[in-house]
Structure 1
Amino acid sequence: MTEVATSAASDQLLVIIDPVARRTDGESVRIVKDVLSAGATTKVCLPDGPEEFARALQRRGSRRPVLVGDDRALVRAVSLLHRRRELAGCALSVVPVGGVLSLARSLGVPMGAVQAARAVLDGAERRMDLLVDESDGVVLGTLVISPPGRTPESEAESGTGAAPQGALSPWMRSLARTLVTVRPTRSPASTSAPGPSRLRVEVDGVILVDLDQPLESLSVAPGLSGLAEVEIRPLSVGAEATPLLATGRRVTVSGADFRYRADTVLSGPVRKRTWTVWEGAWGLVMPEVG
Structure 2
Amino acid sequence: MPVPHPLLVLIDPLARRTDGESVRIAKDVLRAGAPGMKVSLPDSPEEAARALARRGRRHPVVVGDDRALLRAVRLLHMERELPECALSVVPVGRPRSVALAGSLGVPLDAVRAARAVLDGVERRFDLLIDDSGGVVLGGLRIPPVRERTERGPLDRCRSLVRTLTRPAPDPQAPRLRVEADGVLLADLDRPVEGVSVAPGGGLADVVVRQRSAPDPVRARARTVTVSGTHFHYRADAVVSGPVHTRTWTAHPSALRLTVPADSSVPPQRSAPASS
TM-score per shorter chain, which class? 0.7 to 0.9
The one-letter code of the counterpart of 1:253 is V
Q: Is the 8 A contact 2:3 2:119 kept in 1?
A: no
* 1:26 pairs with one of 8, 20, 25: 20
The answer to whether residue 209 in structure 2 is matched with residue 233 in structure 1 is: yes
Q: Unaligned 5+ residue runs, structure 1?
A: 1-7, 147-151, 159-189
RMSD over aligned Cα, in angstroms?
2.0
Question: Is residue 95 from structure 1 mapped to residue 90 from structure 2 by the alignment?
Answer: yes
Instruction: Determine if contact 2:199/2:250 at 8 Å carries over to the other structure.
Output: yes
Q: Does 1:282 align with 2:255?
A: yes
Aligned to 1:184: none
Comparing 256-265 and 71-80, the one that deviates more = 256-265
**Counterpart among 128, 131, 156 of residue 131 in structure 1:** 128
Code of the residue aligned with 1:272 in structure 2: it is T
The residue type equivalent to 1:68 in the other structure is V
In the alignment, the residues of structure 1 paired with residue 84 and residue 169 of structure 2 have an alpha-carbon distance, to the nearest angstrom, of: 53
TM-score of the superposition, structure 2-length normalised? 0.83
Structure 2: runs of 5 or more not aligned: 150-166, 264-275
Structure 1 residue 194, shift from structure 2 partner: 5.9
Cα offsets for 1:228-267 (capped at 9, x unmatched): 111222226xxx9322222111101111111111122222
Q: Would you say 1:217 and 2:190 are equivalent positions?
A: no
Report the AA paired with residue 22 of structure 1: R
- Count residues in correspondence: 242
The separation in 2 between residues aligned to 1:247 and 1:227, in whole angstroms, is 6
The residue number in structure 1 matching 2:239 is 266
Runs of 4+ in 1 over 4 A off after TM superposition: none
Question: What is the deviation of 1:223?
Answer: 0.7
Output one character per residue of 1:119-158: Cα deviation in whole Å (capped at 9) or x when no partner.
1111111111111111222111111102xxxxx151x449
Q: Rate the CA distance shift 1:204–1:9 in 2: closer, same or farther, 3 A.
A: closer
Deviation at 1:90, TM superposition (A): 0.6
| TM-score for both structures, normalised by structure 1 | 0.79
Secondary structure of 2:73 counterpart? helix
- Report SS of the residue matched to 2:87: strand
CA contact (8 A) 1:153 1:266 kept: no
Paired-residue identity, %: 62
Partner of 1:183: none
1:15-94 matched pairs, under 5 angstroms: 15-40=9-34, 41-94=36-89
